[in-house]
Structure 1
């Protein structure tokens, strides 16, 4: 018993695990290949799967579509797990398990995804035509509002100028130039007469003052 424990401890100290591929994403129904490599380890390696939905660990059952093999070169040992036709429920963490020393490798998380199916299958030429049409529509959406605003501003300016012109015409509407001229002449005459009258009255006042003894 002591010899067996000593052998197990020595094996545990001597085994060197190589870093596993942490993540592998495979399309539905494609082939997936997982590997775990190590040095100075036993050859009786089995694969286990820790399912993501339950977290429990189960041994991988081999079949025609799921099988494993082992290789060794330059002191490096590798165990391979091949899944020829992956399903969605194959998603999970896969690890190598060493039964003799009860050691698990770091593991690789396998994700099986289902690609999005095209609802409309369009050719490249059709896609280019659609993109061109979208570009033209975008340009029209920019040009038409700008042209409309420019037209409205010009129209508003014309209306303002017309309104100012009408206001000027309303100011001079009803005025007669002949009446204006006659009124001006009357004002000038009245101003001239008042000046002469003032001079005459002043002379008369002076004469009256001089006649008095």
Structure 2
């Protein structure tokens, strides 16, 4: 019974001590997202306020594979350097410097603070490495401006030329209609309407009488031609 009590007290003391130490630790806000082009430099930081001097280990969480996140230690090399920044107003910061960053460096970077039995992770920064698009044509700004100006001139010509052609066509049609009206007026010019009416009536009467005359109905003084 006494042995169990001793174990319980030791455990409770350790938990209370860890809780006190955790309350004294204050994590500063990290940069949540960092986007960097490949072969460029980048720096990831983690900051905290703590009167202790914990052991700092950088952890990277690779993008999930089949829904599983794979954390791993960040190994220092010529391209990856871990350094400590001087303390300012009680805030301690550590940085992870990348030189000539590569695509496989993409992931969530966190600092692991270890002091005794206490292990705490900072909020972390997600580093996204991308590959810039290659330009098909490497044109200078002056060439681009010249191309834009030429496009504007061509667009203006495409609007003006069809409009001018339609105006010319409409003008030609109006002139033809005017000439046609003048010719019709010239046809009827100088005609006497009374003479036209009398000739019209004579033609109508001749059509009603027929092309032949009845010999019996002719006057007596009309002499028939002998064969």
TM over 0.5: yes
Q: 1:62 aligns with which of 76, 82, 100?
A: 76
Q: Give every structure 1 segment of 4 or more consecutive aligned residues whose post-TM-superposition deviation is greater than 6 Å.
A: none
Q: Measured at CA, do residues 136 and 53 of structure 1 come closer, stay the same or move farther in structure 2, by a change above 3 Å?
A: farther
Q: 1:126-205 counterparts in 2 under 5 A?
A: 126-169=143-186, 172=188, 176-177=191-192, 180=195
- Give the structure with the larger helix fraction: 1
Aligned to 2:57: 46
Q: Residues 49-71 of structure 1, C-alpha deviation per residue, up to 9 Å, x if partnerless?
A: 11224332222121121121223
Aligned to 2:98: 83
Contact 2:54/2:114 (<8 A) preserved: no
The alignment status of 1:118 with 2:132, answered yes or no, reads no
Structure 1 residue ranges without an equivalent (≥5): 184-213
Q: Measured at CA, do residues 161 and 13 of structure 1 come closer, stay the same or move farther in structure 2, by a change above 3 Å?
A: same
In the superposition, the TM-score normalised over structure 1's length comes to 0.74
DSSP-derived class of the 1:58 partner = strand
Q: Residues 71-119 of structure 1, C-alpha deviation per residue, up to 9 Å, x if partnerless?
A: 3232111111111121011111111122342322111111112122222
Structure 2 residue ranges without an equivalent (≥5): 1-9, 199-227
Distance 1:140 1:53 in 2: 57
DSSP-derived class of the 1:99 partner = strand
Distance 1:115 1:103 in 2: 36
Q: Higher mean Cα deviation, 56-65 or 1-10? A: 1-10
